[in-house]
Structure 1
């Protein structure tokens, strides 16, 4: 059953005499002290809080940013596609970087990039500088996005659903907090959109303060374990390398389940980034104030706070996750229909329905943990599904801007959003089948 599979931390031992002391286990999972585990929990929460404010803080101020920088609708659409582009291009490098430097070190570097990008982007002047600094922050988000599911699998193998729910909930809190607070913060700090956007770098700096000692401690443990293994047996290093890097036969590109999960991840990311980037503007064009539009986006994102904890627990108890996928998809279709017919009249209801639909993200993360048996398999599947998925999602926000400029309204863009929900549901049902990529590729 999938629930049992989430409890497997490593692949089956390669040799019978060492079932529980394989070199990979010694190197990758030292006996963590209680304080270190608690610090990792705090680190996961703070990292997750920083995975969306760079994006959702921009939506409520997009009109001011466009005016200040002289952006067209197409360029603004390109800006909302930058997250997906960075996640696709740089996310694929996360597993290799993690094997070389350790996951904690890479997440620490990611928090550094987020803080630097958020502090710098409003003050570099002009659209190119804004986009470049945004990309720096998004690179940090990309590698952290990939590695957090693997860190959960490595540190908490018996609590995958609980910890996935915890950091998914924290991610939703950060997302909704940025959407809700950016406009009031901007007004409180003097009314400058530059200051209103830069203030979110403080949250990333706080996360960096926690991840820095985690990275230092884990780096020392890795070096000590490697030195001890080399002193113990000359051939251990080769065994470690073989264990740390998944077998060549585990090629995600040949797995139908991995491709279905990548498509599901990509289409839900398309919907999420369109919502985060354009929904406040849709409401503003319908006559709703900027502050209320930010609150509506905050409601949409806040739905992930309780549901991001509930959905992973429900999903791990089901042999197939298809029913959850279909429920979320129907909520999305209902929200888009309302947004098309009466964007202002039922704004709060549409925001709520789209918020439920956006919880496909924690579901996708949970399925990554369920569809692979081992920590190494989760790393590869996470990198494949998220990188390919974000690559798929790149055109969506850009097309919304182009269609809006071409048609002069939001009818065609909303129709496109609704149309994309159908293949998302199909891919999610296929990805939710009761199997793992290791079983599939072995067969």
Structure 2
């Protein structure tokens, strides 16, 4: 199967790049790779969302201090930033398939060994090992979609993001039942390593289909991406949506409880908010890639956010299901941010570079959101200042979203900058 750029991502009459001409995969191998992408996506969040439901048991069982618990909850964004930024370099040196096998090995090894860790510091260190694999997968999977399925970016982004949402939901929902059934939080946390083993097997088979190394002159780095306006727009779009999402997942239930909702109902609303990510992942990518200009989708997500937050602010307990549904629709901006990496680039190298820069810096912005939200709540003694901060993030997301959604391409911006400098 000859792999060439999509019509949307290639100017009329533009010949395939040297790297794309070299890429070929037997048709039978594409199904294997599609399944492998879906299974890999299941693993990208299990190290994170499996801990929260049994955090009390983990901290008590390890004798972990409050500082250690805080470090554990902050560790994901730090690992995503550091290891995500290194992924394009590692991919060029090792190959994208081999790198993903190593990433899945890190997830599997980290999940198994941290479940046996006797000391808090070792649990944190081994959590970092598992999270490093997830960070690499975050960046490399969009590039693999672009590389192997340039004519099916929307469909395969749906597969990837849905796998991500399903893995996140399973780890969040199944950990407590597993802990209760086994009487051991270590077994509950370690069991998710089975996902990693299942995902690694098809990628080991797919190693034979690793594309030949491309011309190093075609490689793009994070620094080149950040030298363009479109690169920074992608960073800020990913960062603002990530910050809003982290705030909602971390504080939504507590806000409802403070307004008078009982703990069980607040938990149900949070679970519903999280579950809305699955239909958004199923529906949105294929629709987003069908059009050249994605600005209407930006407006849709922002409108849903603003109406949902206004209802939550004014009447949180009347219409809670409606406000939660609207906020969940707004959280579809996460799917939009992931899809943009492929839509706004012409090559897999460009996709990987934009994904790395946006996710590494974007997750740092996202990680700061819940902290500042909680600080404003503590200082003000209420939720209005915190909610005003969220509205500000939504408006910033709107501005940068309208910019990044315009029909332009990263490689063109880099080439124009180089020509101007030369």
TM-score (structure 1 length as normaliser): 0.81
Q: 1:40 Cα deviation (Å)?
A: 0.7
Q: 1:393 Cα deviation (Å)?
A: 2.2
- Please name the residue that 1:397 is paired with: 370
1:28-427 equivalent positions in 2, closer than 5 A: 29-34=23-28, 36-65=29-58, 69-72=63-66, 76-190=69-183, 192-215=184-207, 217-218=208-209, 222=212, 240-242=214-216, 244-246=218-220, 251-282=224-255, 294-340=267-313, 346-403=319-376, 412-427=385-400
- Mapped to 2, the partners of 1:88 and 1:186 lie a distance apart of 31
Contact 1:269 1:390 in 2 (8 A): yes
Report the CA distance shift for 1:7/1:26 in structure 2 as closer, same or farther (over 3 A): closer
Q: Secondary structure at the match of 1:317?
A: coil
Contact 2:298 2:402 in 1 (8 A): yes
- Mapped to 1, the partners of 2:260 and 2:179 lie a distance apart of 21
Report the CA distance shift for 1:377/1:47 in structure 2 as closer, same or farther (over 3 A): same
More RCO (CA 8 Å, sep 6+)? 1
Report the CA distance shift for 1:439/1:102 in structure 2 as closer, same or farther (over 3 A): same
Q: 1:440 Cα deviation (Å)?
A: 2.8
Q: Secondary structure at the match of 1:92?
A: helix
**1:359-408, CA deviations, whole angstroms, 9 ceiling, x for partnerless residues?**
11111121111111122222222222222222322322333454556566
Q: 1:434 Cα deviation (Å)?
A: 1.4
Q: 1:185 Cα deviation (Å)?
A: 2.7
**1:102-129, CA deviations, whole angstroms, 9 ceiling, x for partnerless residues?**
1111111111111222233344245433
Could you tell which deviates more after superposition, 305-314 or 280-289? 280-289
- Mapped to 2, the partners of 1:322 and 1:408 lie a distance apart of 37
- Mapped to 2, the partners of 1:125 and 1:188 lie a distance apart of 22
Could you tell which deviates more after superposition, 382-391 or 252-261? 382-391
- Mapped to 1, the partners of 2:269 and 2:318 lie a distance apart of 13
Q: 1:340 Cα deviation (Å)?
A: 4.6
- Please name the residue that 1:236 is paired with: none
Q: 1:423 Cα deviation (Å)?
A: 0.9
Q: 1:299 Cα deviation (Å)?
A: 2.1
Q: 1:26 Cα deviation (Å)?
A: 6.0
- Mapped to 2, the partners of 1:336 and 1:185 lie a distance apart of 35
Report the CA distance shift for 1:296/1:194 in structure 2 as closer, same or farther (over 3 A): farther
Q: 1:171 Cα deviation (Å)?
A: 1.2
Q: Secondary structure at the match of 1:440?
A: helix
Contact 1:176 1:300 in 2 (8 A): no
- Superposed CA RMSD: 3.2
Contact 1:184 1:291 in 2 (8 A): no
Q: 1:152 Cα deviation (Å)?
A: 0.7
Contact 2:308 2:324 in 1 (8 A): yes
TM-score (structure 2 length as normaliser): 0.85
Structure 2: segments with no counterpart, 5+ residues: 417-422
- Mapped to 2, the partners of 1:104 and 1:183 lie a distance apart of 34
- Mapped to 1, the partners of 2:119 and 2:313 lie a distance apart of 34
Contact 2:25 2:209 in 1 (8 A): no
